[in-house]
């Protein structure tokens, strides 16, 4: 079977691997349809952060069940599924408390083992979310990123109904956060970014207001919001959230920084003066595994609360991904890069 692999740092290629055949009693063989490129994959491809080579990436993927082990309970051949990439140990204190995202002994599909950028993948049943039969598998490939947003909202423990919500960083996570905030009846949802095209899309997907953070009037938004969500991981955004937040506001950090952050003392002082509540969020799991985030994602998609088609910047084959690797590295595609694996 074909697989899209990172062969060494800054080098990808299509390779041949043996199709998985022998399943253990709890395993499922999935024929992959779509696999998304996550922002966390960029350092694995381009910054020497892969765990091993060659590695097949892909933790945001969907497909159909082709074969099941003898003890598989809830999945049958032909079922549509989405990958649940975390493999907690289920034995440590964090796991026993239901905090699977904090497990220190975890495995991860598409990073610590081969993932879904291959034609077939073999997974434990508990690492697959069953999808309704009428679901588009393209929706299924967005379950991992939307559950990251939903987990953050669970961590926040704040009802968004009637609240003013500011969302900073309008990439995939930010656009999903905009739609979730609207689905939860926020009174005002404002999107913040430096890219006007992304802001136009946020408006189309439900944002009430959009603001280019490089604009001269951005200070008018300071102190306006009850909840501020940071999804980009960009250095300036980490202090902008503190300025946008009103008194007693809640601030949620979802974005992962990839460079050293610096704060002026005046920015840090805003946490004290405004009596802000700051929370971080990591991954997308709760008890019982994989958690309510995943069933909630099914509901939001089923009710038409979330649209993903316009979040896609480019749909590619494995070969096209390799041919366009320099454009991918330069982030020239304004949206998520998707790899179409199967028919």
The CA distance from 228 to 213, in Å, is 14
Is the Cβ–Cβ distance between 249 and 227 less than 8 Å?
A: yes
Which domains are seen in the chain, by residue range? Answer: 2-142+308-340 (3.90.180.10), 147-280 (3.40.50.720)
Residue 79: how many other CB atoms lie within 10 Å:
19
Asked if residue 54 has a cis previous peptide bond (ω within 30° of 0), the answer is yes
Is the Cβ–Cβ distance between 169 and 230 less than 8 Å?
A: yes
The CA distance from 82 to 109, in Å, is 12
> What pLDDT does 184 receive?
97
174, two tokens: 């930010």
| 191 Rama class: left (phi>0) / alpha (psi -120 to 50) / beta | beta
**What percent of the chain shows pLDDT beyond 90?**
93
Query: pLDDT tens digits, residue range 267-281?
Result: 999 999 999 999 999
119, two tokens: 């034609």
Is the Cβ–Cβ distance between 167 and 190 less than 8 Å?
A: yes
Q: Among 46, 20, 19, which residue's Cα sits nearest to residue 330?
A: 46
Query: pLDDT tens digits, residue range 218-243?
Result: 999 999 999 999 999 888 899 999 99
The CA distance from 194 to 208, in Å, is 17
Alpha helix positions (H), the chain:
41-46, 93-96, 137-140, 143-156, 172-183, 196-204, 235-244, 265-273, 292-302, 318-323, 325-329
Position 168 pLDDT exceeds 80: yes
Query: pLDDT tens digits, residue range 287-323?
Result: 999 999 999 999 999 999 999 999 999 999 999 999 9
Those residues whose C-beta lies under 8 Å from the C-beta of residue 223, and which sit 6 or more positions away, are: 243, 244, 245, 246, 247, 274
> What pLDDT does 215 receive?
86
Q: Is 197 helix (H, G, I), strand (E, B) or coil?
A: helix
DSSP assignment of 95-137 equals HHTT-GGG-SS-EEBTTTB--SSBSEEEEEGGGEEEE-TT--H
Those residues whose C-beta lies under 8 Å from the C-beta of residue 195, and which sit 6 or more positions away, are: 170, 334
Residue 157: how many other CB atoms lie within 10 Å:
9
The CA distance from 76 to 64, in Å, is 10
Those residues whose C-beta lies under 8 Å from the C-beta of residue 152, and which sit 6 or more positions away, are: 177, 229, 252, 254, 281
> What pLDDT does 220 receive?
95
Average pLDDT over every residue of 154-177: 96
């Amino acid at each position: 079977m074909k697989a899209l692999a990172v062969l060494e740092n800054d080098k990808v290629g299509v390779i041949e691997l043996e199709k998985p055949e022998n399943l253990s009693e709890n395993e499922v063989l999935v024929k992959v349809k779509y696999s998304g490129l996550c922002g966390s994959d960029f350092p694995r491809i381009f910054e020497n952060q892969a765990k091993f080579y060659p590695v097949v990436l892909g933790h945001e993927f969907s497909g159909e069940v082709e074969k099941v082990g003898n003890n598989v309970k809830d999945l049958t051949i032909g079922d549509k599924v989405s990958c649940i990439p975390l493999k907690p140990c289920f034995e440590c204190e964090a796991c026993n408390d239901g905090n699977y995202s904090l497990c220190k002994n975890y495995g991860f599909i598409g990073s610590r083992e081969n993932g879904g950028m291959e034609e077939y993948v073999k997974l434990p049943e508990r690492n697959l979310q069953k999808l309704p039969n009428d679901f588009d598998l393209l929706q299924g490939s967005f379950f991992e990123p939307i559950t990251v947003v939903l987990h953050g909202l669970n961590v926040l423990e704040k009802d968004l109904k009637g609240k003013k919500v500011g969302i900073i960083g309008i990439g995939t996570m930010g656009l999903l956060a905009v739609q979730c905030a609207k689905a939860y009846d926020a009174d005002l949802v404002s999107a913040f970014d430096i890219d006007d095209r992304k802001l136009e899309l946020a408006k189309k997907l439900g944002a009430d207001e959009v603001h280019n953070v490089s604009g001269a009037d951005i200070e008018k938004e300071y102190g306006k919001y009850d909840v501020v969500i940071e999804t980009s991981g960009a250095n300036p955004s980490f202090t902008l959230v503190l300025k946008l937040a009103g008194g007693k506001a809640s601030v949620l950090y979802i974005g992962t920084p990839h460079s050293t952050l610096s704060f002026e003392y005046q920015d840090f002082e805003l946490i004290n003066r405004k009596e802000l509540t700051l929370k971080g969020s990591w991954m997308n799991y709760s008890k019982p595994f994989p958690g309510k985030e995943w069933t909630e994602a099914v509901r939001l998609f089923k009710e038409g609360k979330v649209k993903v088609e316009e979040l896609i910047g480019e749909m590619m084959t494995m070969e096209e991904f390799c041919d366009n690797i320099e454009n991918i590295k330069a982030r020239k595609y304004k949206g998520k890069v998707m790899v179409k694996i199967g028919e």
